[in-house]
Amino acid sequence: MPPKPKITKDMILNTVLEITRKRGFEAVNARSIAEKLQCSTRPIFTCYKNMEELKTEFLDLAFEYYNQYVANYSRSESIMPYLLLPVSYIEFAKEETNLFQLLFISDMALDMSELNDFYKEIGNEEKANAFSEMIGVQPEKGKRIFLDLFFYTHGIAVLSATGKLTFDSSNSEKMLQNFLSAYVKNESGKADMQNGNF
């Protein structure tokens, strides 16, 4: 009889990803993982001290999965570069609802007592600076626009993830474009975003 394959961290994390995508993270426990891997729960606790440690590592993997989703989206869809992050965020909420709920609703690390706390989150300032360059505005103005765009996008994404809003990416893109046009027009008194020019 051949020996059973050794259970590795990668095997466990990929199993957690599979369970989460199908049934939500609340369905993840030592038994459900062991059942999928066709083993006892012992190998899980050989790799991890406890389920909390496993969850911490899994969140890193889930964020990698999200970042790969955005990268793939940028290659497969024709979209204005400054709308890539918001539109792909909404599409991720629709297509990967359980992962979205874990990453961006129930376990969202963002802790804001003031608006600018948004930029304490790793990566947000860099994204805002890149966004500012893309739309051709000064970084400080771009950061204000990017923050408001995040709140607007997050609202649409949450409504999509909870099934309260159903429409395709072209509608999302139009809504975001209209929001940005109105915002910039209000800020500067004029805007022409149809060709990506402000």
Alpha-carbon torsion 13, 76, 136, 167, what sign? negative
pTM of the model: 0.86
pLDDT in tens, 62-118: 999 999 999 999 998 888 999 999 999 999 999 999 999 999 998 776 667 787 788
In the CATH scheme, what is the code of domain 1-61?
1.10.10.60
Q: Tell me the C-alpha distance between 88 and 93, whole Å.
A: 9
**Separation of alpha carbons 144 and 166, rounded Å:** 28
Domains of the chain: which residue ranges? Answer: 1-61, 77-198
List, for residues 158-179, the tens digit of each pLDDT value.
Answer: 999 998 988 888 888 999 999 9
- The number of residues in the chain equals 198
Quote the CA–CA distance of 18 and 39 in Å, as a whole number. 16
